[in-house]
Amino acid sequence: MPLAIGVDIGGTKVAGGVVDDQGRVLDTARRATPGNDVGQTQAVIVEVVSELAGRHPVSAVGIGAAGWIANDRATVLFSPHLAWRDEPLRDALAGAIGVPVLVENDANAAAWAEYRFGAARGARVAVMVTLGTGIGGGLVLDGALYRGAYGVGCEYGHMSVVPDGRRCACGNRGCWEMYASGTALARDARELAAVSPVGAHRLMELAGGEPDRLTGQLVTQAAREGDPAAGEIYTAMGRWLGRGLADLAAVLDPTVFVIGGGVSEAGDLLLAPARQAFGETLTGRGYRPAAEVVLAELGPQAGLVGAADLARAPAAPP
């Protein structure tokens, strides 16, 4: 049974897992991401891989990185939420890791995992949208991972949905991820607390009375408890999500949208308004087949599962 290690690097965590050829995660390790320091981030990756490789015989390592990955699957061209700029990540890690290393965009890796083992199995055109610190995207077309001409395709989170809107970490304004992401959840909760402390009473309780401590996770907790303010924030974000999916459908005409990432753990609190907005704004609605909008099946491990599978036997052309 060939084993590979997948490592998912996000804005807040480095998560690694030993994965078999059926997509099963046999062992895991996790560390916080020192996102503002390239050397420390790479050291943490090596630490996670070394821990897992010390317990299992592995043949390859796949790195799912939050950023734009060149077609060499070795270089991180840019990462809005990490310190990488034209970073030769594969070469920096290969000597310390000791087995073949492949670098892939984290959302691409998650899309591949859901296509191979999860909610998009067998789909002709599968679109993955991951909602975390920002929005990541992946696309599988006829069984091949689509990466674009230069390796930086499917960055859906940086579609402009509000001209001259909120400033994004990428340098532009009005990007989709500024309205539908964990960052957006936390920002909207803080804005509500500043304007209406009474309306945000439960959110402020969870944050210990400090608006700056409000996070997307706390908004999710309050919404699940039935808090009206948190529910309203989720409804607004779900509608932003659905409208963005409709825009993507106009271009890609997918079989299925798979929604993953930490924010998707809210389930129908997010998907119900998203599906409604998607149906209301889909081009040609009522006269065309509409893609399904479903939750990812592999949860937070999708990125590392996909990275490991791609590293073991790259199945899609660059």
Predicted model pTM: 0.89
Res. 203: pLDDT tops 50: yes
> What is the reported pLDDT for 39?
85
Rank 132-136, 168-172, 301-305 by mean pLDDT and report only the highest: 301-305
Q: Do residues 28 and 84 make contact, with C-beta atoms less than 8 angstroms apart?
A: no
Nearest to residue 236, comparing CAs of 280, 266, 269, 200? 269
Q: Does the pLDDT of residue 211 top 70, yes or no?
A: yes
> Quick one: average pLDDT of 123-136?
93
Residue 191 has pLDDT above 50, yes or no: yes
* Max CA separation in the chain (angstroms): 57
Between 49-63, 64-78, 156-170, 188-202, the lowest mean confidence (pLDDT) is in 64-78
**pLDDT at position 316 over 50:** no
pLDDT at 103: 93
CA torsion sign for 155, 220, 300, 80 is: positive
List of residues 6+ apart from 197 with CB closer than 8 A: 204
d(CA 205, CA 227): 12
SS3 sequence of the chain: CCCEEEEEECCCEEEEEEECCCCCEEEEEEEECCCCCHHHHHHHHHHHHHHHHCCCCCCCEEEEECCEECCCCCCEEECCCCCCEEECHHHHHHHHHCCCEEEEEHHHHHHHHHHHHCCCCCCCEEEEEEECCCEEEEEEECCEECCCCCCCCCCHHHCECCCCCCECCCCCECEHHHCCCHHHHHHHHHHHHHHCCCCCHHHHHHCCCCHHHCCHHHHHHHHHCCCHHHHHHHHHHHHHHHHHHHHHHHHHCCCEEEEECHHHHHCHHHHHHHHHHHHHHCCCCCCCCCCEEEECCCHHHHHHHHHHHHHHCCCCCC
State residue 170's pLDDT score. Answer: 85
Lowest mean pLDDT among 5-9, 11-15, 155-159: 11-15
pLDDT at position 73 is 85
Position of tokens 């480095």?
Answer: 14
- Give the span between the Cα atoms of 3 and 53, in whole angstroms: 10
Residue with tokens 């996770």: 217
Structural domains of the chain, ranges and CATH numbers in brackets: 4-112+301-312 (3.30.420.40), 121-296 (3.30.420.40)
Query: Does pLDDT of 243 surpass 50?
Result: yes
Burial class of residue 95, CB neighbours in 10 A (0-12, 13-18, 19+): exposed
Q: At what angle do helices 268-281 and 228-252 cross, to 10 degrees?
A: 40
Mean pLDDT of 167-185: 93
Lowest mean pLDDT among 220-224, 238-242, 314-318: 314-318
Q: How far apart are CA 205 and CA 272, in angstroms?
A: 27
Range in 70-84, 97-111, 132-146 with the lowest mean pLDDT: 70-84
Q: Which residues pair with 61 in a beta bridge?
A: 5, 101
256-276 tens-digit pLDDT: 999 998 899 899 999 999 999
CA 92 to chain centre: 24
Is the model's pLDDT at 314 over the cut of 80?
A: no
Under the banding of pLDDT at 50, 70 and 90, the label for residue 315 is very low
| Identity of the residue numbered 122 | G
Backbone angles phi, psi at 173, to 5 degrees: -120, 150
Interval 279-298 mean pLDDT: 95
pLDDT at 35: 63
Integer-rounded Cα radius of gyration of the chain: 19
Evaluate if residue 10 carries a pLDDT over 80.
no
